[in-house]
Amino acid sequence: MKEENPFENEQEAKKWILSVEDTSGQNNLREKEMYPLLESRAVEYQAKDILEIGAGQGICSTHIGESFNSYTGIEPSETLVGRAQEKYADSKKQFVVGNAYELPVESNSFDFVFSTMVWFHLANPERASTELARVLEPNGHFLIVTANPNSYKIWESFFDNPIVDDKHMVGMVHIPGGVVSKNIIYKHTQERLLSALESANLKISSVKELGYVNGLADKSIFISIEGTK
């Protein structure tokens, strides 16, 4: 059983497309930190067969260098997959409808697996970590960018009157493309996130903070988790 995903609704997915494709400077965190990190790792690892879990409308497929052999983007929203196929069609790329708990790809198939801004939308990081480990080649690398567990109060401020408990926060969120009528963030501890990966026999090499918020110099809203199989 997978959790509710608002972007499986066509109208909500279109708002997300507008948000990601916005060129007015509102996506600085992506441009300044996430995309450079992703590309540097793909190049550093000399990644050839790359998998993205939660590909959205596909923009990260343009930030993985040029030397890869194949890229596969898995995304549960048919609308977002359709946009990715429309905008980023390439003989080396494929975008497939699927979810993090049942990845529709063969085991031991990728030397680099990454996921950005997805893990905090997953209720079951243990199951997702097991699937990540299944599809990653021995000695392959992974990169996860997710919400910083130490900054959930900041994440709450992005919502309009959210429902918040110990497990998650639920509510409307303003994005450049409009208002997402229902977004869900699961408040996993960092210990749980790391334990889930380690229990799947993945080796963690680093955990770093990124995405510092203007006016809060000592607060980052994301962490990157990197490692190998």
Low-confidence ranges of the chain (pLDDT < 50): 26
3-state DSSP call for residue 14? helix
Q: Which CATH number fits domain 6-148+188-228: 3.90.960.10, 2.60.40.1760, 3.40.50.150, 3.40.710.10?
A: 3.40.50.150
Query: Residue 221 region, left (φ>0) first, then alpha (ψ -120 to 50), else beta?
Result: alpha
Q: What is the structure's pLDDT at 1? A: 54
Of 115, 113, 77, which is closest to residue 96 (Cα–Cα)? 77
Q: What is the structure's pLDDT at 207? A: 97
Q: What is the structure's pLDDT at 53? A: 98
Distance CA 94, CA 81 (A): 9
pLDDT single digits (tens) 119-137 = 999 999 999 999 999 999 9
The residues, any chain, with a CB within 8 Å of residue 102's CB and separated by 6 or more, are 131
Kindly report the CA angle at 207 between 139 and 126, in degrees rounded to 5?
A: 70
Q: What is the structure's pLDDT at 127? A: 97
Contact indicator for 131, 152 with CB cutoff of 8 Å: no
The residues, any chain, with a CB within 8 Å of residue 45's CB and separated by 6 or more, are 111, 112, 141
Tokens of 52: 């993205």
